[in-house]
């Protein structure tokens, strides 16, 4: 998968993912990638319906995240110092969307949105997990040996 600046997936990849989407087989991370792609500027006309659908769901998601649960408020209010309450509240709210200890960098630009980070990790793991061609013809790798060939996966390793 080629990673180009901010546009994480290509048209072909988008097509594949959209097909998967309609089969109900995409993961939350993959759907996040699609959402980013479809909310971009030059979305091909063939994806008109998908752009509308993902746009709608993105809007609904926004409405969800802004809601503050009663439990959070109770806990926050019970803290004595008003300043502390504000800082802690921000910390909790930000932590539901943004992580303070997890992050990613794409082309040197920092990413703190949890969903994006997860999606990037997913792609990275997939580099190791192999491609379609390799799926059909895996050999077992014996411990301590080196093997010539075009193998580039670790699936089905004999441990």
Partner 1 sequence: MSSERFKKEILPLRQQLFHLSRKMLGSEQDAEDAVQESLLKLWRVRDTLKSYDNPGALATTVTKNTCLDKIRLRKQNYTIDEYIKIGDKDDPQLQLERKDTNKLIEMIIQTLPPLQQQIIRMKDVEGYETEEIAEITGTTVEAVRTNLSRARKRVREGYLRIVRGSE
Partner 2 sequence: MGKYLILTLLLAVGFTTNLSAQSDLAINKVFEQYGKQKGSVLVEMSREMLKEYDFTYYKSIVTTDNKEAADFARECLGVDQKGAKKVKQVVSNGVLSSIYLQLPQKGKYFRLILFNETTSPERKMTLIYIESEKDSEEILQINLKRR
Helix (H) or strand (E) holding 127: helix 114-129
Taking alpha carbons only, the member of 29, 23, 28 closest to residue 1 is: 29
Report d(CA 18, CA 96) in Å as an integer.
Answer: 27
Report d(CA 38, CA 50) in Å as an integer.
Answer: 7
Q: Which of 84, 90, 94, 97 binds partner 2 (CB under 8 A)?
A: 84
Which of partner 2, partner 1, none does residue 31 bind to, with CB < 5 to 8 Å depending on kind?
Answer: partner 1
CB atoms within 10 A of CB 111: 16
The site that binds partner 1 (CB under 8 A) totals a number of residues, namely 21
Which of partner 2, partner 1, none does residue 88 bind to, with CB < 5 to 8 Å depending on kind?
Answer: partner 2
Report d(CA 103, CA 120) in Å as an integer.
Answer: 10
CB of residue 114 vs partner 2: minimum separation in angstroms?
6
Give whichever of 22 and 103 is closer to partner 1, judged by the CB atom.
22
Does residue 103 touch partner 1 according to CB under 8 A? no
Does residue 132 touch partner 1 according to CB under 8 A? no
Does residue 154 touch partner 1 according to CB under 8 A? no
Does residue 98 touch partner 1 according to CB under 8 A? no
What b/e string do you get for 62-72 counting C-beta neighbours within 10 Å, with b at 16 or more? eeeeeeeeeee
Q: What are phi and psi of 21, to 5 degrees?
A: -60, -45
Q: Tokens for 74, please give them.
A: 């109770």
Q: Note the residues at the interface with partner 1 (CB under 8 A).
A: 21-25, 27-28, 31, 48-50, 52-53, 55-57, 59-61, 64, 115
Task: Enumerate binding residues for partner 2 (CB under 8 A).
Answer: 2-3, 79-81, 83-84, 87-88, 91, 99-108, 114, 117-118, 120-121, 123-130, 135, 141, 143-144, 146-155, 157, 159
């Amino acid at each position: 998968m080629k990673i180009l600046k901010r546009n994480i997936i290509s048209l072909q990849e988008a097509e594949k993912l959209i097909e998967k989407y309609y089969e109900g087989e995409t993961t939350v991370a993959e759907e996040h990638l699609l959402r980013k792609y479809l909310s971009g500027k030059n979305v091909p006309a063939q994806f008109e319906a998908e752009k509308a659908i993902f746009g709608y769901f993105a809007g609904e998601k926004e409405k969800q995240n802004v809601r503050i649960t009663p439990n959070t408020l109770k806990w926050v209010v019970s803290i004595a110092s008003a300043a502390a309450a504000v800082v802690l509240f921000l910390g909790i709210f930000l932590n539901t969307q943004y992580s303070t200890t997890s992050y990613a960098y794409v082309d040197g630009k920092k990413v703190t949105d949890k969903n994006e980070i997860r999606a990037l990790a997913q792609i990275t793991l997939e580099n190791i997990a192999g491609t379609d061609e390799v799926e059909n013809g895996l050999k077992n790798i014996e411990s301590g040996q080196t093997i010539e060939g075009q193998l580039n996966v670790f699936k089905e390793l004999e441990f």
